[in-house]
Chain A
């Protein structure tokens, strides 16, 4: 009102001076932000990672009287019974991720719906005989192959269980974020303002960005992202095996064009993840089903990329290793052969890597692909996201029990340090592996052949990798 009065007075003064009308700058409109509902935490993005984050907080005892909101652009996803056919988007869930999911009751739902444990991982090169096998000594499950839809359904159920604390906005997209000024200049609202596509407004003390590798939260917060598009796309499909088998092994072969992986879904079905160059990926999608199946079998069985030189060098190294370490190489199993592909199950999506320079800012935290994006060759993507959740939830829970301001950088930085320390080396290693295996150049093939053989023979190194 005072600005309005000043404007009137101004005009009143100027008018007598020959009636020259000066409109002057309009006073800034002080928005009635206080009307927008205030949440303690808003999670932007209702995928596997965003939904799990909201569910973990919703089930946390120290968040008992807090208000959480989850924003998801898509519709609600849930089913009571799994459809007969398998979805072509699956994830390899590590035991650590399974522990997180069971901590708030979601794993029970997954088990009741559908999952496939695997005991062994065999990884080998197309250009040599080099191979590495991962398995746990006690024959425990190394991991689980679960359809993404199954995970989402389980998460939705557990979110329903805490509906009094977690409010989910389906079909809602955030179109704008307004960041607060630093806390001590407290004349305007200290909270993050969120504007939804339908015009609704929310305020929050902490905004968690779980909105994927093209994160809007990250972009709006002006957090630098180191990103790189690979010249590869992943082709996924649901495959049927020639004959039923225990199928508890995950297979991955590094072809020069990219790794091809077979992830077990059941005794008769497996999921395909084939990373290859864009042109080849399009070809694979376009070809008829028989040719597609032939390509897959050939990729796993053909030795066309071997060279005598590499084979000999590899064999020599292997016998040298067996002198030093007699039990140093595991039995080579043969991957299953494919008979049929599920019609309509073929799809492709482009691959890239990304890493945010910062995971947190005042009142903002990034988790999952919004913070880091990796190549699927190591099956780590969603597990890194679940690891982020476990760490962030731990720090937020402690902060809530201390009565702290949830958006305070003090504990957010602890989360960032812990996760960056864990993630950066893994993300870099995956990127290096991707590049190392994308070549036929002899020296590099030799290097990775010997490297793989040596790693396979050295238990401590193998254990470290599989425990990651």
Chain B
């Protein structure tokens, strides 16, 4: 089995060991809402509604009391479970994976006090590649929030996402653009000046411009539906949507359907077949 894993993954995995070391030191601080991860806690105020409303718009059969009931979600790079828990509370069955064992331990402990969440969320210490084999086309939704700017091999990451996602499943990514502005705001101000994010968390070189991400997604059979800019206000500690994607942005893409069609809403994809598909989707 070990051999198969090595053959399957290419020369390097998507997990960057230097990145892991950075997060190791913060593994116990996830759930302090006013601490190092406060910006991630408040990001829930826009990323959870974004995911929820996008999925509700695509579905015709849901209950507002448990809007994500029946949806299987993979939270890649779940950390301490900051995003997994709200998604679980909305009714989804969530699998949270993170390469760092300490993060998983924190996440497991935090969910353990709530019997409903404890049943709905499963955490696993693992990289994305390691679960591909047993999870082919298993998930309705993949969420990779504030993750792709930390991975070693982005192309492999996207490929694995495509493999574990069901046809017509949704992929949600939030990450940071690679621009002068994102260097100034995302690194200089956020890390060095205001301490919004612990210093050294991000490397500008690994930031991902949305164009590059979109191109990569298309080449692996995804159709990008939405790209929205996000802005953090350090004074109020809150996030909001903005036109420009120069700093932070959120992206929603849909995997091509079983026959190679993709959902009709939003942007056209080069992989779309000649006849426009009449599949479900709004």
Interface residues of A (CB under 8 A from B): 34, 38, 61-65, 182-184, 186, 189-191, 400-405, 408-410
6 intermolecular pairs with C-beta atoms under 8 Å apart: A38-B114, A63-B65, A184-B30, A184-B32, A404-B44, A404-B89
Cα(A61)–Cα(B65), bound, Å? 5
Is B216 among interface residues, defined by CB-CB distance under 8 A? Answer: no
Q: Which of B44, B65, B85 has the most CB of A within 10 A?
A: B65
Q: Is the CB of B65 within 8 A of A403?
A: no
Chain B residue nearest in CB terms to A403: B86
Q: Is the CB of A65 within 8 A of B31?
A: no
Q: In the assembled complex, how far is the CB of residue A253 from the closest CB belonging to chain B, in whole angstroms?
A: 50
Q: B10-53: which have CB < 8 Å to A?
A: 29-33, 35, 42, 44-45, 48-49, 52
Nearest first, the 7 closest Cβ-Cβ pairs linking A and B are A64-B65, A403-B86, A184-B32, A403-B89, A403-B90, A184-B31, A61-B64
Q: Is the CB of B33 within 8 A of A408?
A: yes
Cα(A160)–Cα(B89), bound, Å? 26
Is B87 among interface residues, defined by CB-CB distance under 8 A? Answer: yes
Cα(A183)–Cα(B64), bound, Å? 28
Q: In the assembled complex, how far is the CB of residue A204 from the closest CB belonging to chain B, in whole angstroms?
A: 12
Q: Is the CB of B66 within 8 A of A410?
A: no
Is B109 among interface residues, defined by CB-CB distance under 8 A? Answer: yes
Q: Is the CB of B115 within 8 A of A186?
A: no
Is B218 among interface residues, defined by CB-CB distance under 8 A? Answer: no
Chain B residue nearest in CB terms to A60: B65
Q: With A38-B115, A65-B66, A401-B67 as known contacts, state yes or no: A186 contacts B110, CB within 8 Å.
A: yes
Chain A residue nearest in CB terms to B90: A403
Cα(A65)–Cα(B49), bound, Å? 19
In the bound complex, residues from chain A placing their C-beta under 8 Å from that of B45 are 402
Give the size of the chain B interface in residues (CB under 8 angstroms): 29
Q: B73-124: which have CB < 8 Å to A?
A: 85-91, 109-110, 113-115
Q: Is the CB of A402 within 8 A of B113?
A: no
Q: In the assembled complex, how far is the CB of residue A280 from the closest CB belonging to chain B, in whole angstroms?
A: 54
Is B1 among interface residues, defined by CB-CB distance under 8 A? Answer: no
Chain A residue nearest in CB terms to B45: A402
Interface residues of B (CB under 8 A from A): 29-33, 35, 42, 44-45, 48-49, 52, 63-67, 85-91, 109-110, 113-115
In the bound complex, residues from chain B placing their C-beta under 8 Å from that of A190 are 113
Q: With A62-B64, A403-B89 as known contacts, state yes or no: A186 contacts B48, CB within 8 Å.
A: no
In the bound complex, residues from chain A placing their C-beta under 8 Å from that of B66 are 64-65
In the bound complex, residues from chain A placing their C-beta under 8 Å from that of B52 are 401-403
Cα(A184)–Cα(B29), bound, Å? 7
In the bound complex, residues from chain B placing their C-beta under 8 Å from that of A63 are 65
In the bound complex, residues from chain B placing their C-beta under 8 Å from that of A62 are 64-65
Chain A residue nearest in CB terms to B92: A403
Q: Which of B66, B88, B113 has the most CB of A within 10 A?
A: B113
In the bound complex, residues from chain A placing their C-beta under 8 Å from that of B85 are 403, 405
Q: Is the CB of B48 within 8 A of A403?
A: yes
In the bound complex, residues from chain A placing their C-beta under 8 Å from that of B35 are 184
Q: In the assembled complex, how far is the CB of residue A436 from the closest CB belonging to chain B, in whole angstroms?
A: 40
Cα(A386)–Cα(B203), bound, Å? 52
Q: Is the CB of B32 within 8 A of A183?
A: yes
Chain A residue nearest in CB terms to B65: A64
Q: Is the CB of B64 within 8 A of A402?
A: no
Residue from the list B44, B65, B110, B115 in contact with A402, Cβ < 8 A: B44
Residue from the list B31, B33, B89 in contact with A186, Cβ < 8 A: B31
Q: With contacts A61-B65, A402-B52 known, what are 4 further pairs, Cβ within 8 A? A: A64-B64, A183-B33, A403-B90, A404-B86
Q: Is the CB of B29 within 8 A of A401?
A: no
Q: Is the CB of B113 within 8 A of A403?
A: no
Cα(A184)–Cα(B33), bound, Å? 8
In the bound complex, residues from chain A placing their C-beta under 8 Å from that of B48 are 402-403
Q: In the assembled complex, how far is the CB of residue B7 from the closest CB belonging to chain A, in whole angstroms?
A: 40
In the bound complex, residues from chain A placing their C-beta under 8 Å from that of B115 are 38
Q: Which of A65, A184, A401 has the most CB of B within 10 A?
A: A184
Q: In the assembled complex, how far is the CB of residue B59 from the closest CB belonging to chain A, in whole angstroms?
A: 16
Q: In the assembled complex, how far is the CB of residue A95 from the closest CB belonging to chain B, in whole angstroms?
A: 28
In the bound complex, residues from chain A placing their C-beta under 8 Å from that of B109 are 186
Q: With A63-B65, A65-B66, A191-B113 as known contacts, state yes or no: A403 contacts B29, CB within 8 Å.
A: no
In the bound complex, residues from chain A placing their C-beta under 8 Å from that of B33 are 183-184, 408-410
Q: With A183-B33, A402-B45, A404-B44 as known contacts, state yes or no: A189 contacts B87, CB within 8 Å.
A: no
Chain B residue nearest in CB terms to A402: B48
Cα(A410)–Cα(B52), bound, Å? 20
Cα(A403)–Cα(B49), bound, Å? 9
Cα(A189)–Cα(B109), bound, Å? 11
In the bound complex, residues from chain B placing their C-beta under 8 Å from that of A186 are 31, 109-110, 113
In the bound complex, residues from chain B placing their C-beta under 8 Å from that of A183 are 31-33
Residue from the list A189, A402, A410 in contact with B49, Cβ < 8 A: A402
Cα(A186)–Cα(B108), bound, Å? 11
Cα(A75)–Cα(B217), bound, Å? 63
Q: Which of A64, A403, A405, A409 has the most CB of B within 10 A?
A: A403
Cα(A62)–Cα(B63), bound, Å? 9
Residue from the list B65, B86, B88 in contact with A65, Cβ < 8 A: B65
Q: In the assembled complex, how far is the CB of residue B109 from the closest CB belonging to chain A, in whole angstroms?
A: 6
Cα(A182)–Cα(B35), bound, Å? 12
Q: In the assembled complex, how far is the CB of residue B228 from the closest CB belonging to chain A, in whole angstroms?
A: 17
Q: In the assembled complex, how far is the CB of residue B271 from the closest CB belonging to chain A, in whole angstroms?
A: 33
In the bound complex, residues from chain B placing their C-beta under 8 Å from that of A64 are 63-66
Q: Is the CB of A402 within 8 A of B86?
A: yes
Chain B residue nearest in CB terms to A63: B65
Q: In the assembled complex, how far is the CB of residue A409 from the closest CB belonging to chain B, in whole angstroms?
A: 8
Cα(A405)–Cα(B83), bound, Å? 12
Q: In the assembled complex, how far is the CB of residue A170 from the closest CB belonging to chain B, in whole angstroms?
A: 26
Cα(A182)–Cα(B31), bound, Å? 10
Chain B residue nearest in CB terms to A205: B114
Q: Is the CB of A403 within 8 A of B64?
A: no
Chain B residue nearest in CB terms to A64: B65
In the bound complex, residues from chain A placing their C-beta under 8 Å from that of B113 are 34, 186, 189-191
Q: In the assembled complex, how far is the CB of residue A5 from the closest CB belonging to chain B, in whole angstroms?
A: 24
Chain A residue nearest in CB terms to B237: A410
Cα(A112)–Cα(B113), bound, Å? 45
Cα(A178)–Cα(B115), bound, Å? 20
Cα(A456)–Cα(B45), bound, Å? 47
Chain B residue nearest in CB terms to A165: B65
In the bound complex, residues from chain B placing their C-beta under 8 Å from that of A402 are 44-45, 48-49, 52, 86
Q: In the assembled complex, how far is the CB of residue B104 from the closest CB belonging to chain A, in whole angstroms?
A: 15
Residue from the list A401, A403, A408, A409 in contact with B87, Cβ < 8 A: A403
Chain B residue nearest in CB terms to A191: B113
Q: In the assembled complex, how far is the CB of residue A393 from the closest CB belonging to chain B, in whole angstroms?
A: 15
